[in-house]
Chain A
C-alpha cells in the first residue's frame, strides 16, 4: 500500500525568505502523480503544484518548485520569497496513474512571520 509521510508537523519562515517542506512516499509503482495542496486558514484547499513521476524535470509554478528524487522517493516543496499569504497547511499527495485514489500526507503547518 502507498503511504505519504511529512516529517515536519510545523514550520515557520520569515517573510521574503525561502523554505523547503519535506515529503517522502512509499510505492512499488513506476509511474504515478505527486501533488502539493495548500489549505489556508478557514479557506478551501487548492492545488499548488504537481509532478508526473516519469518526467525527470522538476515542476515549477512561479515561486513554488519541487525537488523530485524518484530513487529516494522524495518530493519536497520549495517556496521562494515567502509571503504572508503562504501561511497555510500544506499536504503532499500521491496518486497512481491508473486511477485509484489520492493518498494524502498528514500535512505541514507553515507560518510566514512578518
Chain B
C-alpha cells in the first residue's frame, strides 16, 4: 500500500515562528501536493511539485514556500507563521500526470495552531 507520512499530527507554534511541515511518500510518486483544509472551504491547493526541485503555485501560495530536494520528500514552509494559518494541512502524492491512474494518496494531516 502507498504510504504518505506527515511528520506531525499536531503542532503548536507562536506567531512569527518559521514552521516546517514534512511529508514523505514511499511509492516513488512523481507528484506531491500540499493542501490546506478549512471547514466549509474544502481542500485548497497551496503548492504542488511534479518533479524534484520543481514546484508550482496552487490557489493560495501566499505566506508559504516549499522544498523538494528528494523525490520522496516534500516540505511546506511557513516563513513567518500567522494566526490565519491555523488550519489542517494535508499532503498528497500521485503517480503520474495525464493518466487515469492519477489518484491522490493522502497523509493523515497536520493540525497546526498558531498562537
Binding site for B on A (CB under 8 A): 4, 6, 9, 33, 35, 37, 42-47, 50, 52, 91, 95, 97-99, 101-102, 104-107
Is B74 at the interface (CB under 8 A from chain A)? no
B interface SS class: loop
Do B42 and A105 touch across chains, with their CB atoms under 8 A apart? yes
CB contact under 8 A between A9 and B42, given known A33-B100, A95-B102:
no
CA distance A50 to B104 in the complex (A): 12
Determine the chain B residues whose CB is within 8 A of the CB of A101 once the complex forms: 45, 48, 58
For A46, the closest partner residue in chain B by CB is B106
CB contact under 8 A between A99 and B97, given known A45-B90, A45-B106, A47-B104:
yes
A interface SS class: loop
Do B106 and A44 touch across chains, with their CB atoms under 8 A apart? yes
Is B103 at the interface (CB under 8 A from chain A)? yes
